[in-house]
Amino acid sequence: MPKITVLAHETLLPEGKVIENVKAGESILDVLLANDIELEHACEKSCACTTCHVVVKEGFNSLEDATDDEEDLLDKAWGLKPTSRLSCQALVADSDLVIEIPKYTINHAKENH
């Protein structure tokens, strides 16, 4: 079973975390949430925002290609990289992943308060 290594994030996960025995077919977001990593997901996993954006540092090629809808949204994400994905859409395959959570997100609901 693959593992996901989440790199340290200044406020969300200062020490980083390694999640072992991840089931293939689960979204990266669901794995993070199940392991007490409270990554934003303002659209409730419906591929309608970019708050769950992650950068896949290792294992990117093991993921299925992003859909056109996901690609369109990613164009609006802060800190976009060639290996960026929406974690609610990226399903874990059989390879280990190393991911980075960007420092900022674009969350219109949060910005307006």
CA distance 44 to 80: 21
Region 4-111: CATH code: 3.10.20.30
User: What is the number of residues in the chain?
Assistant: 113
Give the domain ranges of the chain: 4-111
What does pLDDT average to over the chain? 92
- Confidence category of residue 107, pLDDT binned at 50, 70, 90: low
Q: pLDDT tens, 48-60? A: 999 999 999 999 9
Could you give the C-alpha distances from 41 to 88, 94, 108, in angstroms and in order? 8, 24, 12
Please provide residue 85's backbone torsions phi and psi, each rounded to the nearest 5 degrees: -145, 155
pLDDT at 87 over 70: yes
> Which of 89, 10, 11, 28 lies closest to 19, judged by CA?
28
| Residue linked to tokens 């993921």 | 63
CA distance 39 to 53: 9
- 54-77 in b/e form (b: 16+ CB < 10 A) is bbbeebbebbeebeeebeebbeeb
Share of the chain above pLDDT 90, in %: 87
pLDDT of amino acid 104? 78
The two structure tokens encoding residue 72: 């369109």
